[in-house]
Structures are given as structure tokens and as C-alpha cells.
Amino acid sequence: MPHYLDDAQRDEVLRLHASFLGRSEWPTWLLLTGAYAGWFALLLGSSLLGAGLTTVLLIPLLVLWLSLQHELLHGHPTRFLWLNKLLGYAPFAVWYPYTLYRDSHLLHHRDEDLTLPGRDPESRYLGQQAWQRTRKTDRALRWLDKTVPGRLLTGAPQALFGLAREQLTRLKQGDRQAWRMWLTHGFCTLLMFAFIAKYSALSIAQYVFLASVPALSVAMLRSFYEHRPAERPEQRTVLNEAGWPWTWLFLHLNLHLVHHDLPGLPWYFLPTVYRQRREQWLARSGGYLVHGYGELIRAHSLRPIDSPEHPFA
């Protein structure tokens, strides 16, 4: 339990964990069942729905799947790592093997390293020396990524090119763990593609480029201003008071400081814990508050939200 929580906060968090809802985690089980059932239902029913409507419905389902994988790697709905891995290993979103996402994301939770290039694996900032060496075209792309339309249009391709560059280096170096991970992920993905090709009205290309990539782009809206450079680590993580449907698609991860401070807390408890001590959370964040994703879209469709160059790394 974090040391900065007072006795009342500790008692409340412990009470939530000890409740039937906390012990059973039935909302997560329900969502997992729904995600699997929904995926198969959409693909099997795609000849009736049509490829266009099926693709449109797949996008939010895949965004939700990415959020569920995040919940699984944090120890929900079971405390068995192997079982959570089994539950979340399906390559519905195509690109990121579950184990790669898990290991990288858990490193991201070292809050003292948040936003620091080379230390935070999810940082989208460059250190000052690296920024000086960056070509003009790459700088332009990074500035574009700091606007909402730029993040939605180029964020996924930039992330995937970076992933390919990093992982190909590991494979060329003969990293056995990387080889096992990608061969397993590749085999599961080929099985999924075979199912799509045989039983659905979608082509593999439609699934990959019209459903999977857009879903990754939507998921990147959550991370658009999720962290900022700040001297104090606890002031680097946002509190975004978003509304429906974003809170459901992202499983309340918009309240990101609460999640970082209490990573073992199930997604459905985050709003309760936040509302009970809202002023304390805002004070802890240093006022790092966003009033929903609409605010970001209105303010930063043309104007970059900050600089790609990290101010003190």
C-alpha cells in the first residue's frame, strides 16, 4: 500500500479489495467473456452484417480488448500470471504479443522514470541530444504527433515502425526469448487469419488495416496526454475526467494517476476511489487535470500540446 495514503484511504482500499466485487472480479470476467463472444459473433455473422458494418463494430471491440489485456497484465481477474497470460494471449489486435506488452508496460510503472527517454519504454519524448541529431522530416512527424489529428493518423504507424525496428534488432542478435515470443505470437496470428479467411466476409487485409490499425489509433488517444514531464514523479500522470464511451473503452484508465498509484486496484473501483478523495488527488497531481478528451480535441487539433523534446532529460 502506498505510504502517502492516510489511514482512512488505506482502510477504504482494503475494504474494496475484501468485498465480494473485489474478490470475485466478476465485471472483468464478464467483459472477457463478452469480448471473446463478441469477436466470434461479429466474424461469424459478418456475411449478414456486411463487411463494412462488421469492421465498424470491430474497432471498439479491439480497443476494449487492448484495455482488457492491460487489466490482465496487472493481475486481474486472477492472481495466476500463467492464467492471465492464457486469457489475454489471443492476438485479436494483431501487433503486440501479450508478453511483450506485459513486460514493457510493467517497466513503465517505475514512476521515477516516467517520460524519461531510454528509461520509460512508453515515452514519446526525445532527450535533448537525440533531438538535436533528429532529421527535419522526423522532427515534423514528432510535432505532428503532438496534435490530436496527428496522433490519430500517424501515431499507430510511428509506433509500429518503432516496434519493428526494435524487435528486428533483437531477432538479428539471436535473442532466444524474442524468437520464442514472436514464433508463438505469429503461429496464433496465422490461426486467427485462417479463421477470418474461412468463416468471415472480411479479408485479412480488411481486418488488419481497417479494423486493427484504427483500433490502435483510437487507443492512442488515451495516451495522447497521459503523461507530462515534471520534476516530481507524481505530477507526471494525468487525471482525465472523461465521460462515456471513453471511460468504458479505456476501462477508467483516464483516471491514470489513480491507476499508477494503485496499480493492483481493479478498473471498476478507480472512479469510486477518485471521487471519494478528488481534491487530494488533484493536489497530488499538481493540478494535472483534463476535462475529457473533447477538451484535448478542441484545444490541440492544430496546436501541439507540448514539445517532443524532453525539457530536462
State residue 8's pLDDT score: 75
State residue 1's pLDDT score: 60
Peptide bond into 245 cis (omega under 30): yes
State residue 3's pLDDT score: 56
State residue 12's pLDDT score: 87
10-residue stretch averages of pLDDT, the chain, 313 residues long: 68 88 96 98 97 97 98 96 97 96 95 95 94 94 96 94 95 96 97 98 97 97 96 97 96 97 96 95 96 96 96 89
Helix and strand element counts for the chain (H, E):
18, 2
In degrees and rounded to multiples of 5, residue 171 shows phi and psi of -65, -40
Q: Buried b / exposed e across 227-241, counting CB within 10 Å, b at 16+?
A: bbbbeeebbbbbbbb
The domain limits of the chain are 7-299
DSSP state of 77: S
State residue 124's pLDDT score: 93
15, 66 contact by CB (below 8 A)? no
**Residues 202, 198: Cα–Cα separation, whole Å:** 9
Q: What is the pTM of this model?
A: 0.94
DSSP state of 76: -
State residue 304's pLDDT score: 97
State residue 13's pLDDT score: 87
State residue 4's pLDDT score: 62
Peptide bond into 77 cis (omega under 30): yes
